[in-house]
Structure 1
Amino acid sequence: MATINLKAFPYAEDVACPKCKHQITLYDPEGSEYCVCTSCNSFIHFTKNDIALIQKQAAPISQQPVLKLGSVGMFKGFQFKVIGYVEKKEQSAPYAWREYILYNYEQGYANFAEYDGHWTFVAGKEFYPALGELKNRGWTFINYEENEYTLFSKYTAVTTALIGEFDWDILFERPKTTEFVAPPQILYIEHVPNQTAAQFYLGEYTEPVEIADAFKTDIKLFPERVGIGSNQPSVHAQRWFAIYKLLPFIVVFMAVIGFGASYISPQYEVLDSYHNTERDTAKANEFKPYLTPSFELQKQSALNFKIIAPVDNNWLEATVVLVNEKNNQSWEVTESIEYYHGYEDGENWSEGSQEADVLLSAIPAGKYHLNIYPAAGEPTISTPPGAAYNSTNPYVLNTDSITVKSAGPTVHINVTANPIIWKNFWVSVLLLCLYPLYTWWRMRTYEKKRWMNSDYSPYETDE
């Protein structure tokens, strides 16, 4: 076991390899039971009588460690010394990673795990006492300190190469490992066959620059990151969780502003005009223009024009000119109204509407009236018995006893000042939601890529 409860690192000791006599430096000589000769790769076991025995031959490491043995760094408030480097892989898969054994003279051992350039600081209950309360229940999730960790992978870890010193037979041990993720954290459950209790370890994703700064190592020596790490934090998730909590307050704030504005400047009706349009017999599809009664605005206001015409299988177009009676300044808008319906293939159908809305903003105070220039399609007329169209005027119907002019539809125009424009409110809400939706989509895409490396992906059914 690691030598702990000290005030400083113990003095290093050199021992001779029993095979090649190469000097091996031990940084925790009291706590280390095994070590590897960097010259001949002998895996050496120290007996109770401090006799060094060659237990087996270790394979040479395939990569030079980024953190050199014996290097010291301050990380998470603890002073660590690198005393071992291990290369591991999954027993039944090609996935391989590297671990750096860290020794702290107060608490004991921790490690850095590196896979495809993604680094995780891993420690047990010596650093995180609450881990000692966890139980391995075989579930697909674990709740730990208000976070829910989701099952990510299961595998058996095999040590393929190593250097340094250790307090257990790491070459012999093949722990069955289960990973649960809650980025940037990850929980490991390791169970060694023939041992009763599983061991829990907590990992936290670590940026390489933090490690380089702590151990005074050149950042250029660190491997480049490949893909997305199992517990790599998502900047999109951080943005999403920050935004979605704030968005309801923004929407409520906008609604309060809208209601406040309507209370301070309430909407009111300035004109409600009905006019039976009369066809201009000199021009096809046109009606005689007309003027509405005058109305007055006490202050600058927005005006909402609602134009209603009971057209039936027909259309109407109205050009509305708002005229300031003092200076003849005018604002002109044109709106079309169409409404058609019928019965076809056993079903009723309809399209269009019998009303339209127009908004004019920032109309100055003053006295106004409207000039209306209507136009419409030919009337749909049920011909009475004995009636026929006048050949000289198609808009006049001759019967045996009377002559009927085909009048146009009634045009109803309602004008409201300071209208409450809820459409603008909902458009604003929609625009506000665009960025959160984009962030949610980026977060989801990121998470799907993360879980592509897992046999337990919650997104599998979405494919």
Structure 2
Amino acid sequence: MATTNLKAFPYSEDFNCPKCHTPITLYDPEGSEFCVCTSCTSFLRFIASETAVVQKQAPRPTEKPVLKLGSVGLFRGYQFKVIAFVEKKEQGNPYAWREYILYNYEKGYANFAEYDGHWNFVAGKDFFPELDELKDKGWNFINYQENEYTLFNKYTAVTTALVGEFDWDILFEKPKTSEFIAPPQILYKEHVPNYSRAQFYLGRYAEPEEIADAFKIDVNTFPERVGIGANQPSAAAKRWFAINKFFPVIIILLAAIGFAASYISPKVPLLETTHVMERDTTKADEFKPFITPSFELTKQSALDFKINADVDNNWAEATVVLVNEKDNQSWEVTESIEYYHGYEDGESWSEGSQQTDVLLSAIPAGKYHLNVYPAAGAPPAPVTVPATTSFSADSAVVANTGGSTASYAAGPALHISATANPIIWKNFFVSLLLLCIYPAFAWYRMRAYEKKRWMNSDYSPYEDDE
């Protein structure tokens, strides 16, 4: 086992390789049980007599280590010395990565794992005691320290090359490994056959600049980063979660501003009038215009007009002109109202509405009235009735037809109301929509990033979206 609970690194010791007699340096001489000769790559084991015995021939690394054996660095509050370099791969797959074994004189071993230029600082229960409480239950997720880690990958790890010193037979073991991610962290569950209990290791994504600064080396010597790492932190996710945290507050604040404005400037009814559309007997299929009573607007405000027409399987239209009685400044709008209904194939149907709304903004204070120019659909066919029958002037036009009367129904009744300082919910929803644009964009970027990350996994939650 690694030598721990010290105040400083132990003194290194040199000995000669029993096969090629090349000097080999041990940086933790008491804690190391195996080592590899840097010259002949013999895998050596120290027996009880402290004599090095050749166990087997170790494969030589195919890549030059970025961190040299024996180099020392201060990383995340711990002094580490690099004591070994290992190349590994997935059994049956070409995916390969590299590990740098780190030794700390207080805690023991940790490592840097590098794959496609993505680095993780990985350590076990000596650095993270809570890991010892985790049990192997074949999960697809793990809850650890208030984070949920999701299964990302499963494989059997095989050592393909190595150099340096170790306290276990790394060439012998082939741990079955499961990776669980909660970026920027990753949990490794390793189970070595013939051992009853799985071991857990916690990794955290490390930027090359951070490692280079800790070990005082040139960051340009690090391998180029390819793709997205399994637990590489996402700037898009960071933005999304920051926005998601405050967005409900923004919505509540926006609504509060709207209600506060309605309290400070409450709605004020200005006009309420009903007029039956009267046909112009001098013009075919036209109605007489009419003028509403005057009303006073005490300060600049938005005006909300509600126009209701009691049309039934018909349509009506009104051109409404708001006129300032002092300077004749006017605002004109034209609105149509249609309402149809019926019964077809055993079902009733309807479409349209008998009401419409008109909103005018920033109308100056003053005295106003409305000029209304109505129109409506064709009247029903004339009905012949006795001449003695009487009709109100609002509901019919009476014509003498020589002993009988031809009755033409008047146009629909128009009901018009005007209100100052209306609550303009349209502004609220438009503002809300505009506020949603950036969060929606942030969510899309985050999701796109995560989908790209999970493309490297057989357990992607996004596979149904492909």
The TM-score with structure 1 as length reference comes to 0.92
Alignment of 1:73-152 (within 5 A): 73-152=73-152
In structure 2, what is the equivalent of residue 391 of structure 1? none
Structure 2 residue 162 is the aligned partner of structure 1 residue 162: yes
Which string of whole-angstrom CA distances, capped at 9 and with x for unpartnered residues, describes residues 63-121 of structure 1? 21222222221111111111111111111322211111111121111001111221111
In structure 1, what is the equivalent of residue 257 of structure 2? 257
Inter-partner Cα distance in structure 1 for 2:274 and 2:149? 68
Q: 1:373 to 1:45 in 2, by over 3 A?
A: same
Q: Which amino acid is 1:104 matched to?
A: N
Preserved contact between residue 383 and residue 407 of structure 2 (Cα < 8 Å): no
Preserved contact between residue 35 and residue 166 of structure 1 (Cα < 8 Å): yes
What is the aligned-residue identity percentage?
Answer: 72
Classify the secondary structure of the residue corresponding to 1:453.
coil
In structure 1, what is the equivalent of residue 423 of structure 2? 420
Inter-partner Cα distance in structure 1 for 2:279 and 2:207? 79
Inter-partner Cα distance in structure 1 for 2:316 and 2:107? 86
Classify the secondary structure of the residue corresponding to 2:303.
strand
Which string of whole-angstrom CA distances, capped at 9 and with x for unpartnered residues, describes residues 203-237 of structure 1? 11111221122122222222222222221222232
Inter-partner Cα distance in structure 1 for 2:383 and 2:349? 25
Which string of whole-angstrom CA distances, capped at 9 and with x for unpartnered residues, describes residues 214-272 of structure 1? 12222222222222222122223222222222222222222222221111111021001
Q: Which of 439, 443, 446 is the equivalent residue of 1:443?
A: 446
Alignment of 1:149-298 (within 5 A): 149-298=149-298
Cα distance, 1:385 vs. partner?
7.9
Inter-partner Cα distance in structure 2 for 1:399 and 1:270? 48
Q: Which amino acid is 2:14 matched to?
A: D
Q: Which amino acid is 2:172 matched to?
A: F
Classify the secondary structure of the residue corresponding to 2:411.
coil
Which string of whole-angstrom CA distances, capped at 9 and with x for unpartnered residues, describes residues 48-75 of structure 1? 2221222111112122122222222111
Inter-partner Cα distance in structure 2 for 1:209 and 1:258? 49
Inter-partner Cα distance in structure 1 for 2:284 and 2:163? 99
Inter-partner Cα distance in structure 1 for 2:379 and 2:450? 62
After superposition, the CA RMSD in angstroms is 2.4
Inter-partner Cα distance in structure 2 for 1:214 and 1:352? 72
Classify the secondary structure of the residue corresponding to 2:132.
helix
Inter-partner Cα distance in structure 1 for 2:11 and 2:376? 102
Preserved contact between residue 98 and residue 113 of structure 1 (Cα < 8 Å): yes
Which string of whole-angstrom CA distances, capped at 9 and with x for unpartnered residues, describes residues 189-216 of structure 1? 2122222332211111111221122122
Cα distance, 1:354 vs. partner?
1.7
Preserved contact between residue 303 and residue 359 of structure 1 (Cα < 8 Å): yes
Inter-partner Cα distance in structure 1 for 2:462 and 2:431? 32
Q: Which amino acid is 1:207 matched to?
A: E
In structure 1, what is the equivalent of residue 394 of structure 2? none
In structure 2, what is the equivalent of residue 10 of structure 1? 10
Q: Which of 377, 391, 411 is the equivalent residue of 2:414?
A: 411
Structure 2 residue 458 is the aligned partner of structure 1 residue 458: no
Alignment of 1:339-378 (within 5 A): 339-378=339-378
Q: Which amino acid is 1:258 matched to?
A: G
Inter-partner Cα distance in structure 2 for 1:422 and 1:294? 27
Q: Which deviates further from its counterpart, 401-410 or 202-211?
A: 401-410
Preserved contact between residue 314 and residue 377 of structure 2 (Cα < 8 Å): yes
Q: 1:365 to 1:211 in 2, by over 3 A?
A: same
Preserved contact between residue 384 and residue 399 of structure 1 (Cα < 8 Å): no
Cα distance, 1:318 vs. partner?
1.6
Cα distance, 1:150 vs. partner?
1.9
Q: 1:313 to 1:216 in 2, by over 3 A?
A: same
Q: Which deviates further from its counterpart, 260-269 or 226-235?
A: 226-235
Preserved contact between residue 281 and residue 395 of structure 1 (Cα < 8 Å): no
Cα distance, 1:124 vs. partner?
0.8
Q: Which deviates further from its counterpart, 420-429 or 268-277?
A: 420-429
Q: Which amino acid is 2:414 matched to?
A: V
Preserved contact between residue 384 and residue 405 of structure 2 (Cα < 8 Å): no
Q: Which amino acid is 2:434 matched to?
A: L
Inter-partner Cα distance in structure 1 for 2:99 and 2:270? 79
Unaligned runs of 5+ in 2: 388-396
Q: 1:19 to 1:295 in 2, by over 3 A?
A: same
Classify the secondary structure of the residue corresponding to 2:404.
coil
Q: 1:24 to 1:288 in 2, by over 3 A?
A: same
Query: Would you say how many aligned residue pairs link Structure 1 and Structure 2?
Result: 457
